[in-house]
């Protein structure tokens, strides 16, 4: 288990290292009420990166947090006032 401070620092580091467009997920990361794993953040960033894609398929193994990945992406779109999800 990591502390709130560690989670925020980890989210900041992932956002900083990810490159262009990653800052989009920042608001959702800092407000998350769950413990996020790196692969969940990467999946959410993948779904937010492509401006021409109309969606993505989340196909992880059972128990790896597909619901959290989708929720993180939806939260970011909601924060950007994009209500047609």
pLDDT (tens digit per residue) in 50-74: 767 777 888 888 888 888 888 888 8
Domain that includes residue 21, residue range:
4-79
Query: Looking at residue 78, what is its pLDDT?
Result: 80
DSSP conformation class of 22? G
CB 15 within 8 Å of CB 22 = yes
Cα separation, 31 vs 27, whole angstroms: 6
pLDDT category of residue 20 using cuts at 50, 70 and 90? very low
Cα separation, 17 vs 65, whole angstroms: 22
Assigned domain for 84 exists: no
Nearest of 76, 61, 1 to residue 36 by alpha carbon? 1
pLDDT tens digits for 29-57? Answer: 666 677 778 888 888 888 887 767 777 88
For CA atoms 73, 75, 78, 84, give the dihedral sign: positive
Assigned domain for 55 exists: yes
Assigned domain for 85 exists: no
Total domain count, the chain? 1
């Amino acid at each position: 288990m990591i502390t709130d401070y560690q989670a925020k620092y980890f989210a900041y580091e992932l956002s900083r290292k990810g490159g262009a467009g990653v800052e989009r997920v920042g608001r959702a990361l800092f407000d998350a009420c769950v413990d996020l794993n790196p692969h969940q953040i990467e999946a959410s960033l993948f779904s937010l990166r492509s401006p021409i894609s109309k969606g993505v398929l989340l196909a992880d193994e059972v128990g790896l947090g597909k619901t959290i990945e989708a929720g993180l992406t939806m939260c970011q779109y909601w924060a950007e006032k994009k209500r047609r999800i």
